[in-house]
Amino acid sequence: MSNNSDENTRVSAEQDGSVPTTVDSPGSVVPEAERASEPAPHLVALLKQAEDEAAGLKDAWLRAKAETENVRKQAQNDIVRTHKYAIERFAAGEKYDPHRHQAMTMIESDQRAGTVVQVFQKGYLLNDRVLRPALVAVAKAAEAPPASPGETGR
């Protein structure tokens, strides 16, 4: 034998026509095919599991990134729509306008007659066009208290 480590650990199949073997320690010879098959299935399974986990994490990351981008775009669109179609002051304390309001009832109030007192359902405008009139309660003039039976109007 020589002192070369490659020659000590492997015996070529060409030399004796047998199965290649590996020398682990002096005196023990294990066929190379058997030695290669021992740790490989375990390592292959671990590698496959790690690759599957990495693919799953990448997919989850891509989905989260796409969801975040969609939420950002939706928020920007909401802001644009809010600025374009804002109608907050549509029926707060305004004078009753039959083109924009639908009176549901009249309520005695301290406010002037014909003023919107309460909004039951919000109305919608689209660029000065009424999509849905607001359902409102309108203030009416306070009625004079009825005359007592002893008083006459003359």
pLDDT tier at 17, thresholds 50, 70, 90: low
Pick 60 or 104 by higher pLDDT: 60
Q: CA 136, CA 104: separation in Å to the nearest integer?
A: 6
How many contiguous H segments (helices) and E segments (strands) does the chain have? 4, 8
**Is residue 138 over pLDDT 60?**
yes
**Cα 30 vs. chain centroid, distance in angstroms?**
59
- Pair of tokens at residue 60: 């989850």
Q: What are phi and psi of 134, to 5 degrees?
A: -75, 140
Average pLDDT, stretch 35-59? 86
Q: pLDDT tens, 22-39?
A: 555 555 555 555 555 556
CB-based contact 144:129 (threshold 8 Å): no
CB-based contact 91:134 (threshold 8 Å): yes
pLDDT at position 25 is 56
**Is residue 7 over pLDDT 70?**
no
Residues of the chain with pLDDT > 70, as a percent, come to 62
